[in-house]
């Protein structure tokens, strides 16, 4: 091979600029360096490789190494660009109800249109008339349903009188069997943990293959009578699948259309797709939280309290002044404790935790009885307790909830604000029981930030749905029947 002549420093020469094909190739490389979109990155890299191939053929008189290497780069980047473009192709749904459900329900979990279209092929739309029953009390949970239009009502028969008692309203874009699905997921998780402990190794699938039988036995069933039955009753049956028995009856109060998925088919489909499991758990968990919250803030129903249980009227003294520190100086131990609690609660990468901390403000109430929010006022902030205890009550004379470190305050209000459907829960009264430290995010600012980060949004709403369920499952109690609650 010819060698490049060596020049002494006194004979250094300035060569002319290379051919325009070489310049275009480097311009394409420059664009790839500043590109933030993966598809655009692959396209400009393929264009750069194409110009280098042309440069090696036309200008360098068939430079074999330049042509071969860049031809390989061209094929690799072109294939990846085609795959990405295909995955981003416009997905059109067969029915307008599918489009409505995706835009208003499933897109909020980060589910792609392609994944939802595949789910639609597994399910079916069912039209119901006013007064028609969708679920019979005592039947097995065979479907997971979401309401596309219309309104339904969950009722339960009174064994003593035979009358039907209203339990909950199921509105448009809400799930019907979300409590039962939550119990099913919890049951499968515990069964998985039991097998992992027995075999000393954990399985990655939420629904192990073969764990869903086609002919479940009603004798080994778990019955959910209302929303308060989402608990640990599946624990004695960790070694096998326990079918779910519906303890309620679901009746249409208007003409309705629902989307239904067979439970067995759905579980077998999502067991190999963890991202779909996460999305469904997020949506159903949030749906259960809203149902529990809707019951807890109902002012028409009487409140049952255990003896000695505190209420807002007995412990709060709103007239007591208490200075609130804004961006106060805190010790490194307190801040480190806050970061650990937030990381444990959200289970996100450090970069996402740092981004959330950059949006938050540190707050400290030096004395107890500092009122964070009065009842019937909008909650403009989402709080995360770091130290101390913050108390909330959904309405006057209601049981007090103690929010301890590692939990959110205002999660219900934030979740309802993120839905954008006009349903807002803002009647909670919040105050400090002890000198407390917390992180504070402005709701509007955080919602706007989450709209541009699908992964972070999914993690936040998943954590909030779990936080809401934990708080309100503890305080929800069966309501005494009244004349107005009977059909």
Per-position pLDDT tens, the chain of length 487? 555 555 555 567 787 888 899 999 999 999 999 988 999 999 999 999 999 999 999 988 888 999 999 999 999 999 999 999 988 888 888 889 999 999 888 988 888 888 999 999 999 999 999 889 888 888 888 899 999 999 998 888 777 776 777 778 888 889 998 888 877 877 776 676 677 676 655 445 444 444 443 434 344 444 444 444 444 443 333 344 567 788 888 889 999 999 999 988 898 898 888 888 888 888 888 888 777 766 655 544 433 333 344 444 333 333 333 334 444 556 677 778 888 888 888 877 888 888 888 888 888 888 787 888 776 666 678 889 998 888 887 655 566 778 888 888 887 777 766 555 444 455 567 888 888 888 888 888 888 887 777 777 777 877 777 777 666 555 544 444 443 333 3
Task: Say which residues have a Cβ less than 8 Å from residue 49's Cβ, sequence separation at least 6.
Answer: 25, 70, 71, 73, 74, 77
Task: Say which residues have a Cβ less than 8 Å from residue 294's Cβ, sequence separation at least 6.
Answer: 168, 169
Task: Say which residues have a Cβ less than 8 Å from residue 351's Cβ, sequence separation at least 6.
Answer: none
Write the DSSP string, 326-343: ES----HHHHHHHHHHHH
Neighbours of 148 (CB within 10 A): 22
8 A C-beta contact, residue 297 and residue 399: no
8 A C-beta contact, residue 426 and residue 293: no
pLDDT of residue 486: 37
Please state, in angstroms and rounded to a whole number, the distance separating the CA atoms of residues 170 and 459.
Answer: 26
Task: Say which residues have a Cβ less than 8 Å from residue 321's Cβ, sequence separation at least 6.
Answer: none
Residues 102, 421, 392, 225, Cα dihedral to 10°: -60
List % helix, strand, coil for the chain (3-state, nearest 5): 45, 20, 35
Q: Where are the alpha helices (DSSP H) in 88-122?
A: 96-104, 113-122
Task: Please name which of 379, 204, 431, 264 lies closest in space to residue 195, comparing C-alpha atoms.
Answer: 204
Tell me the backbone φ, ψ of residue 159, rounded to 5 degrees. -65, -25
Cα angle 385, 453, 361; round to 5: 30
pLDDT of residue 427: 55
8 A C-beta contact, residue 448 and residue 394: no
pLDDT of residue 396: 56
pLDDT of residue 236: 39
Half-sphere exposure of 21 (CA within 13 A, CB side): 12
Q: Whole-prediction pTM value?
A: 0.56
Please state, in angstroms and rounded to a whole number, the distance separating the CA atoms of residues 327 and 174.
Answer: 39
Q: Which tokens belong to 79?
A: 């294939």
Please state, in angstroms and rounded to a whole number, the distance separating the CA atoms of residues 260 and 282.
Answer: 18
pLDDT of residue 380: 78
Task: Please name which of 289, 269, 105, 271 lies closest in space to residue 179, comparing C-alpha atoms.
Answer: 289
pLDDT of residue 44: 94
pLDDT of residue 473: 53
8 A C-beta contact, residue 382 and residue 411: yes
Q: Which tokens belong to 426?
A: 């803002």
Task: Please name which of 369, 433, 422, 427 lies closest in space to residue 397, comparing C-alpha atoms.
Answer: 427
Task: Say which residues have a Cβ less than 8 Å from residue 170's Cβ, sequence separation at least 6.
Answer: 147, 151, 152, 153, 154, 176, 250
pLDDT of residue 55: 92
Please state, in angstroms and rounded to a whole number, the distance separating the CA atoms of residues 485 and 487.
Answer: 7
């Amino acid at each position: 091979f010819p060698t490049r002549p060596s020049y002494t420093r006194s004979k250094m020469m300035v060569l002319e600029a290379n051919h325009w094909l070489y310049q275009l190739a480097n311009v394409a490389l420059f664009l790839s360096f500043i590109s933030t979109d993966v598809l655009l990155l692959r396209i400009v890299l393929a264009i750069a490789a194409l110009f280098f191939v042309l440069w090696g053929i036309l200008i360098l008189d068939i430079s074999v190494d330049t042509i071969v290497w860049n031809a390989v780069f061209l094929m690799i980047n072109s294939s990846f660009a085609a795959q990405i473009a295909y995955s981003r192709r416009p997905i059109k749904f067969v029915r307008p109800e599918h489009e409505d459900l995706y835009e208003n329900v499933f897109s909020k979990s980060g589910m792609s249109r392609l994944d939802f279209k595949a789910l639609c092929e597994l399910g079916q739309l069912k039209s119901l008339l006013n007064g028609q029953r969708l679920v019979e009390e005592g039947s097995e949970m065979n479907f997971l349903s979401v309401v596309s239009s219309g309104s339904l009502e969950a009722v339960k028969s009174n064994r003593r009188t035979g009358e039907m008692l209203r339990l909950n309203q199921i509105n448009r874009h809400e799930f019907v069997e979300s409590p039962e699905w939550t119990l099913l997921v919890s049951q499968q998780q515990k069964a998985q943990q039991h097998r992992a402990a027995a075999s000393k190794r954990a399985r990655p699938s939420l629904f192990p293959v073969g764990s869903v039988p086609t002919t479940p036995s009603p004798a080994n069933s778990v019955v959910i009578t209302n929303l308060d039955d989402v608990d640990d009753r599946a624990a004695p049956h960790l070694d096998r699948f326990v079918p779910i028995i519906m303890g309620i009856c679901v009746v249409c109060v208007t003409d309705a259309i629902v989307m239904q998925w067979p439970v067995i088919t759905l579980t077998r489909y999502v067991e190999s797709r963890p991202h779909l499991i996460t999305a469904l758990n997020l949506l159903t968990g949030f749906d259960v939280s809203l149902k529990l919250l809707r019951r807890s803030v109902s002012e028409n129903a009487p409140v049952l309290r255990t003896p000695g249980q505190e209420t807002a009227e007995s412990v709060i003294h709103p007239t007591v002044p208490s200075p609130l520190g804004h961006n106060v100086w805190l010790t490194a131990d307190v801040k480190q404790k806050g970061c650990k609690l937030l990381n444990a609660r959200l289970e996100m990468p450090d970069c996402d935790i740092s981004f959330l901390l950059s949006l938050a403000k540190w707050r400290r109430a030096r004395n107890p009885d500092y009122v964070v929010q009065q009842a019937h006022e909008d909650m403009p902030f989402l709080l995360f307790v770091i130290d101390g205890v913050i108390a909330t009550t959904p309405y006057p004379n209601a049981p007090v909830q103690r929010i301890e470190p590692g939990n959110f305050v205002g999660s219900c209000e934030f979740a309802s604000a993120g839905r954008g459907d006009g349903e807002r829960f803002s009647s909670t009264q919040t105050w400090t029981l002890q000198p407390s430290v917390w992180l504070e995010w402005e709701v509007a600012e955080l919602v706007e930030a989450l709209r541009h980060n699908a992964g972070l949004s999914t993690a936040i709403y998943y954590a909030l749905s779990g936080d809401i369920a934990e708080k309100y499952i503890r305080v929800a109690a069966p309501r005494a029947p009244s004349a107005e609650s009977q059909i």
